[in-house]
Amino acid sequence: GAVVSQHPSRVICKSGTSVKIECRSLDFQATTMFWYRQFPKQSLMLMATSNEGSKATYEQGVEKDKFLINHASLTLSTLTVTSAHPEDSSFYICSASLGGSSGANVLTFGAGSRLTVL
Amino acid sequence: QKEVEQDPGPLSVPEGAIVSLNCTYSNSAFQYFMWYRQYSRKGPELLMYTYSSGNKEDGRFTAQVDKSSKYISLFIRDSQPSDSATYLCAMSVGGNEKLTFGTGTRLTIIP
């Protein structure tokens, strides 16, 4: 089946530093990937849609200069949290759409990356 | 009002019981409905998806959509301890449009 690999699974950093999270589709090509953020006991919040070869589309309220997204190839999208602060601590999850004959936007998710900013 | 409402639980049931998980929504344009299961500290995995109204069965899992009531359900028969997880409903208007998720229901199956 389709697999999305996300790395690192856990990262701890100091306030003010930048952190990069990678999301790879291992056995399929993903022209579109999605980045979500999840707070404890809350739902997945879509941050941005990452499009291969073009700029990401950010959701309202998400700072594009703080959360830099790059989708340089059909199998890799990266999210960089720049100048991280404690309030950026969260669980970040990427996903890729498999499409499908039904037309449903079926997503395969990575295992997530837990960011802790000290 | 949130677009998708889901009781966060927690919900605890004994092993072997039938579990009913539900979501309500306000956007009548939603056409695609999905259920994801998320284990602790992991990403969600797709359990089932349905288009428009009706039922869909897959092993011990049955998904129901009632568009007239804007209500979807996931039933788990013969529940097992390994079913303990958070279950998220998700839906979208179009097949290629972004998903709107519920908050998730945390389920524990007691051996």
DSSP class per residue in B15-51? TT--EEEEEEES-TT--EEEEEEE-TTS--EEEEEEE
Find the range with the poorest average confidence among A17-26, A30-39, A57-66, B83-92: A30-39
Q: Quick check: A95 contacting B, CB < 8 Å?
A: yes
How far apart are the CA of A102 and the nearest CA of chain B, in angstroms?
Answer: 8
- Per-residue pLDDT band for A52 (boundaries 50, 70, 90) equals confident
Is A108 close to B46, i.e. CB distance below 8 A?
yes
How far apart are the CA of A12 and the nearest CA of chain B, in angstroms?
Answer: 15
At residue B8's C-alpha, the angle toward residues B7 and B9, to 5°, is 95
The structure tokens 């389920």 sit at: B107
- Torsion angle (degrees, nearest 10) of CA B79, B64, B26, B101: 50
Pick the more confident residue, A53 or A94.
A94
Q: Which residues of A touch B25 (CB under 8 A)?
A: none
- For residue A106, is pLDDT > 80? no
Helix, strand, or coil here: B81? helix
Pick the more confident residue, A83 or B94.
A83
Q: Which residues of A touch B8 (CB under 8 A)?
A: 41
What is the CA B102 to chain-centroid distance, rounded?
9
Selection from A40, A43, A103 nearest residue B3 by Cα: A43
Q: Which two tokens stand for residue A108?
A: 């395969």
Beta bridge partners of A49: A34, A57
Mean pLDDT of B55-81: 96
Is A34 close to B97, i.e. CB distance below 8 A?
no
Distance, in Å, from the CA atom of B76 to the CA atom of B61, rounded to the nearest integer, reads 5
Distance, in Å, from the CA atom of A51 to the CA atom of A76, rounded to the nearest integer, reads 10
Distance, in Å, from the CA atom of A67 to the CA atom of A47, rounded to the nearest integer, reads 9
Q: Which of B43, B96, B103 has the CB atom closest to A93's CB atom?
A: B43
Is A106 close to B98, i.e. CB distance below 8 A?
no
CA–CA distances in Å: residue B88 to residues A58, A86, B41, B48, B77: 23, 27, 14, 11, 18
